[in-house]
Structure 1
């Protein structure tokens, strides 16, 4: 490129070079660290080549965040910042598996309460049943003991003698 200055005229000689979309994008993101360049791609927006990262909806492989999460690109790639982490847990990397903390705690408390009540009812039932069985056993034993202690006299057996005469 040559620049000529004359009194009232400035002429600029330029040479035109053809670049493909990827080269335009590569030159645009050249100031970024190499760790970030893999997450950008050229797209045509409003008739112009624009470099967008994977958080942009026009990217060929966009990162989509669910439940109002926001996408950001780091040197490790795109990731989602999930909102409301004070009241929710997110088990998916895209904020898609949302668990309400209060609901989880309430559910766990309900299950624990049901388990405690069930164990208490079973313990009471077994205790009552054991007493009944012991009481019935004691009554039967008492009856047997009374029977054994009674001066029960067996009726005399009839003696039959067989005589040889018929």
Structure 2
């Protein structure tokens, strides 16, 4: 909450309590046990509060990410990363930093061995696990591709071999001529055969 808003809240609270106390007390000027509010002496007046200059030392590029706040220590300049801020930036295990012209950002720890799915250092995932998972998946995919390719080539060769033998069988038993001639048939060279 900004300082001006806090001042207005405190001012209205004090004003209401003074008005309530004035209305509830039945004191006379001689009563020593109660507070006496006489309008001549007690008047609540709202004054202009000068704009605090606590955050004036902050560079202009960072200024919009800081706010002046009243704490138990007094008036202070607080960043959106400060855990005492009303709604601080949560970075879980990470560290909140204010970056120039960007604002509060989380710097996550151990980014050399982990990656995070969220900007607030949420969803911590081991890089080694991701790399191992991707490597195993690629190896399995490679083995499946090699196995399928092997079986496809084997089946194609078997089919081609079967087609070759089937075509060969068909060719030797079929002749284009319906009659056999000496060139196409068996020739007997034994001339000593009696012709009875």
Count the aligned residue pairs: 131
SS in 2 for 1:65: coil
Residue of structure 1 equivalent to 2:94: 69
Could you tell me which of 98, 111, 115 is aligned with 1:85?
111
Larger Rg: 2
Distance in 2, Cα, partners of 1:104 & 1:144? 60
1 or 2, which has the higher strand percentage? 1
Gaps of 5+ in 1: 1-16, 154-166
Distance change (3 Å), C-alpha of 1:136 and 1:152: farther
Secondary structure, in 3 states, of the residue corresponding to 1:124?
helix
Counterparts of 1:152 and 1:125, CA distance in 2: 44
2:82 to 32, 56, 66: 56
| Cα deviation 1:81-127 (Å, max 9, x = unaligned) | 11001112335432234442111211211121012101100111011
Preserved contact between residue 54 and residue 75 of structure 2 (Cα < 8 Å) = no
Aligned counterparts of 1:19 and 1:74: Cα–Cα separation in 2:
31
- When normalised by structure 2's length, the TM-score is 0.57
